Structure 1
Amino acid sequence: MSDNSPLIDDLVATCRAALPQIDALYAAARDGVRAVLVADGKISPALLEQNQFSAHGFGWLATYVECLRQMVEWADRLSDEGRLGEFEMLILQAGFGEYLAQMAGGIPMSQGEVLRPADMGISAEAVQAFQAGPVARLIAGGNTAPVRQRIADLIGENPGAITQGDTGLDETHAMIREQFHRFAEEQVAPYAHEWHLKDELIPIEVITQMGELGVFGLTIPEQLGGLGMGKMAMCVVSEELSRGYIGVGSLGTRSEIAAELIMGGGTDAQKEHYLPKIASAEILPTAVFTEPNTGSDLASLRTRAIRDGDVYKVTGNKTWI
C-alpha cells in the first residue's frame, strides 16, 4: 500500500460499525413515510398520490442503505480471500463517505429534486444522532479530494482494464464478463453510433447472436430453455452489453423482466409456451409504457386493448416501444 494513500485507519471495521446508525436512519424514514401513506392499516392510493416525493425518496434511501450493506459484504469477502487491496478500500471509503453525506444532507434524485431527511419525516434529533461516531468519521474523511485523486491515479495505471478494482466476481462470472465485453467491443460498439444517427433498429443479426449466447434466457430454468443462472450473471451481461450500447443492453433486461413476471405469476401452460421462446429470442418482449401526454406515469395511461373475438383492438398512442 502506498505511503501517500489517504485511507482511514480500520476502514472496513468503521464501515461495519456505521451500519446500525444507517439502519436507525432508515427506520426513522420508514416510520415517517408510513405515517403519511397508511390509512386503515394499508397504503392509501390517494395518500400515495399526494406524497409521491416522500415515497419516491424513500425508495432512493432504501437503495442507498442496501448498497452500503452490500459494499461491506463485498469488502469482507475480498478480505477473507486476500484480495482486498488499496484500490478496493478507496472505492469502499469514497462510496461510504459520499452516500452517508447525501443521506444526512440531501440525496440528489434529479437536478431539481433533492431529498432532505425532513421530506421523509426524519426528525432533526435523528439526523443529529446519525451524524456521530463512525458515520461522522466517514463523512469527514471518506470522499475527499485526495481519495478521488488516488483513485484517478490508480485508474490511470490500468487504462485498458475492463473494470477498475476487484469486482469480487468468481471465475465463472469473470469469464462471462470477458465474453460479453468482447462481443460488445466487436459487434456493438463500432456500429452503435451509426444506428443511432440513422434511427435504425438494432440489426436482427446482432439479436440472433445474442440469442445464441443465451442473453435472453440467463435466469430462465434450463428445463424451460434457459441457462438457469442467477441475477449476478444477468447484471454482468447487461453491464457489458450496455457498455457497447445501452439499447443492446436493454434488450436483455426486457426479456428478464417478462420472464420473471411469467415465472412468478404465470400458469404452467404459459410458462411452457412463452419461456422457451423468450429464451431463444423467438419472442422479444418490449416495454410499452410511454405516451405523448403522460410520459411513463402508469396511472395515467390512456391506450386501451379491448378484446374483440380472437383479437385485441388497440386504441391510443405510444411514443416508442
Structure 2
Amino acid sequence: MSKRTCIVTHDLEPSQIDKIKEIIPDWELISGKDSANWHNELKKAEVIAGWKKELKEMVLEGNSNLRWFQSWSAGVDSLPLAEMESQGIQITSANGVHANPISETIFALMLGLTRKIHTYVKNQQAKVWHHSGMKLEIHNKTIGMIGTGAIGRETAKIAKAFGMKVIGVRHSGKPEEHIDEMYTSSQLNDVLPLCDYVVVTLPLTQETRQLFGAEQFTRMKDSAFFINIGRGEIVKETDLIAALQNGHIAGAGLDVFEKEPLSEDSPLWEHDNVIITPHTAGSTEYYTKRVIEDIFIPNLKEYINSGTPGINQVDYIKGY
C-alpha cells in the first residue's frame, strides 16, 4: 500500500518540516518551490499546500487523490472552485496572515496621501523645495472599513490610536471591537458620505464584483480618499478614473487593479493624487511562517483527527 502524500509547493525551514513530520510521520512529505520535486507526485497527493498552475490539470482529473487544499493566499477567487467543489475537495485559505502587513500598507497609503509624502518624494527627485499645499491631518477623521475580517479589524485597532471614528460594513452587520458603528452591506451607500477615508478589504465574490462604481464615488466626500487592497475587480476602474479626474474624490491608494500588471497606458499612473503599489500590500518576511505555523499545522492536526481542517474553511457558496 502506497504512503499517503502531502505536498507543500514552497520552500520550508527545516524546523517547519520537522513539525509537519511529527504530525504525519508515516506520510511522504514533499516540499519546495522547484516543481521537479513534486510534479510527478501530484496525482497521489492527498493534501497540497500552495497553488501552482500545474495543479489544475493534474489534480482535477477524476483519478486525483486530493482531499484538502491549503491556499497560500487569503483570496481563493483565482482557484477553479467549481471543479474543486464537484470533487469534494476541502479548501482552507490563508486568511489572517496579512493583517499586520496590509494594515501597515493601508496606513502608509492613507498617511502618504494625507501628508503628501508621494508629492515630496517627487519634489526630492527634482530637487524642488515646495510646500505643495500641505494642510490635512488624519487624527480625529472618520474611516470606513468596507470589510471587517482580520485585516479590517487590525486596521480599525490602529485607527483608534489616531483618535479616528471607525465605521464598518459587513454582510451581517454584527458588531466588532474597535469599530464604533457597524452597517450591513446593503447600507454601503449610506455609509460613504460619512467617511474621510474609504478602505476596501473585501474578498472578490459575485456580490462584491464591481461593487464600487460611479454611484459610490459620487456619494463619497470630494475630500475623501479611497484605498483598495482587496481585489481590483471590486472596482469599476473607468469609474474610479473618472471620479479622480472630476474631483469627486480627493485621491486614491491602490494595491490591486482589474488587470495586473497595470497597463503602462493606464491614466492612473499619471494622477498626482494616486499612490500605486504592485499588489504587494500583504508581502512580509513572516508570510511562510504564518501560513505554516498558524494555519497549516493546526489544520493538519485537525485533518488527521477528524478529516476536516477547521481554520479558514472556504464556503463554496459564499466564495470565501
State TM-score, norm by structure 2: 0.22
Higher helix proportion (structure 1 or 2): 1
Q: TM-score, normalised by structure 1?
A: 0.22
Structure with the bigger RCO (C-alpha within 8 Å, sep 6+) is: 2
Between Structure 1 and Structure 2, whose CA radius of gyration is higher? Answer: 1
